[in-house]
Amino acid sequence: MVVFGWMFCIFIIGSRAAANNGFKSYPTTVKTFENDTVLLPCYVEDLDNVQTRVRWWRDGILLADSGEPRHEPPERVKMYSNRSLEVSHVKRNDTGEYVCQASRPAPWGHATQVHEIEVMYPPSVHPIPESGKLEVNLGEEVDMACVAKGVPVPIISWRNKDGEIPFLYDRSRLRFHAESPSDAGRYTCVANNDVGEPAMATIDLYIRYKPRIEMTKTWMHAPAGIRVQLHCGVTAWPEATVEWYFNNRSVKYSSRIVKHNAGSDHSLVIRNVRTTDYGFYLCRASNSLGITEAAVELSGVANPPVFKKTSHSLSKTSYNFVWEVHSYSPIVQYEFRFRKYVNGVPGQWCKLYIPSGNDGNSFIHTYSFKLTGLQEASHYEALVLSKNRYGWSKSSEIIRFATEGALDKDNYITNAIQEDKIAPAVQLASMSQHPPLDTDNGESSVTQAKAMTNIIMIFILYVFNINFCKL
């Protein structure tokens, strides 16, 4: 009976110890900052005449022992008489689990309680590649990353010259295809954990590609005696070597002909232009990935004429044109071409040669021309060329115009795209007065033939129908 009583007591005590592990304190996680002091509780329930021994452990290393006064705790660690553990001037490596172990003689045994210290500190970050520079060929995959440290774990964001790069989630690795040279530039990753200032690292992306050339002009008008500058915009990586060629030979640079570079603009300056300088200049850019060329023509020929908006209808059969030409040399002659435009189908060009008259030594030459003998309510197209001492210019853009009474006259397109070659033409002796175009007579004959054919077909069907009814 006595033995049963002892067993019952042990069962009650063991059950009570199992319910709360014999601790008055509870496991906790302490989030703190560097150089702070942390107190970890280990409050054990006292039992009459039962001595409780408390040990503190970390990573299997004994920090403090209440049953061994001679034990020397590590630096900055101290256990108080109530078994609490103090860690002063905490450092980053103090982060981790701290185990409080309470031991009693049999039959109680021992129990443990785990606490945790989390030392928070600002983020740090370093790029991959560590050099902070990355080179890829155009079209290849770009793969860059940033490795961040800090407590709490930092969140990483990216930005480039266009601003922040949007992602649906935190991304420490950035991958994409280099589809354009404009993708090159500086990429910055930012690590932030709301502790201290965010940390940043940069990666400079270089995209290798064959030179690209953009010519501001492919043709330039220049009279003898002036200064001109031929521009050749070049972009490439690695940087391109640019050379100029004239009539398929390397340009011989001198005090009169100078090569000038300013960033991506590679220009050729020609002082005191001579007629022997006229011709094609080739801009050639090369790097390790290839060669690109583009040409510009230097000429004394006038610029293409431009029709002015002041052109307008004068009557049902006439139209007045005004155009402007830029030329340092006097204009000798104009070539005016026009054609009828019916139901979207252009007719044959008619060509007139017009003396320029005397317009002085002005660089801008303006001319007004009255075209008569047109058909009423009709649509036409026209263009003009100019000639100076160096030859004929390129043609103007084709314009479309209509005489009075034409359908959609006010909404008619006046700046049309040149739709075909302008070489075929019918030369007219008169400058302005001329009979209606022969194409109209041709159209009338075709209409009459179609009408006669229709009458014959109706007569045949009528006779066939009568004979069929008799049957």
CATH superfamily for domain 304-400? Immunoglobulins (2.60.40.10)
Where residue 167 falls among pLDDT bands split at 50, 70, 90? confident
Q: Percent of the chain having pLDDT more than 90?
A: 66
71-125 pLDDT per residue, tens: 999 999 999 988 999 999 999 999 999 999 998 877 777 889 999 999 999 999 9
Would you identify the CATH topology of the domain 215-297? Answer: Immunoglobulin-like (2.60.40)
The two three-digit tokens of residue 33, written as one number: 């900052």
116 close to 29: Cβ distance less than 8 angstroms: yes
* DSSP code of residue 146: E
170-186 pLDDT per residue, tens: 789 999 999 999 999 99
Each domain of the chain, given as residue ranges in start order, spans: 26-119, 128-208, 215-297, 304-400
> Does the pLDDT value for residue 447 go beyond 50?
no
The two three-digit tokens of residue 437, written as one number: 């175009």
Q: What architecture (CATH level 2) is domain 26-119?
A: Sandwich (2.60)
Euclidean distance between CA atoms 185 and 293, whole angstroms: 26
Omega cis (within 30) before 223: no
- Specify the CATH number of the domain 128-208: 2.60.40.10
- For the chain, report the end-to-end CA distance as a whole number of angstroms: 139
Which residues, listed in sequence order, are joined to residue 412 by a DSSP beta bridge? none
300-355 pLDDT per residue, tens: 999 999 999 888 989 899 999 999 999 999 999 999 999 998 888 999 999 999 99
The two three-digit tokens of residue 24, written as one number: 């008055």
Higher pLDDT, 198 or 433: 198
Check if 215-297 and 304-400 are the same fold: yes
Higher pLDDT, 408 or 254: 254
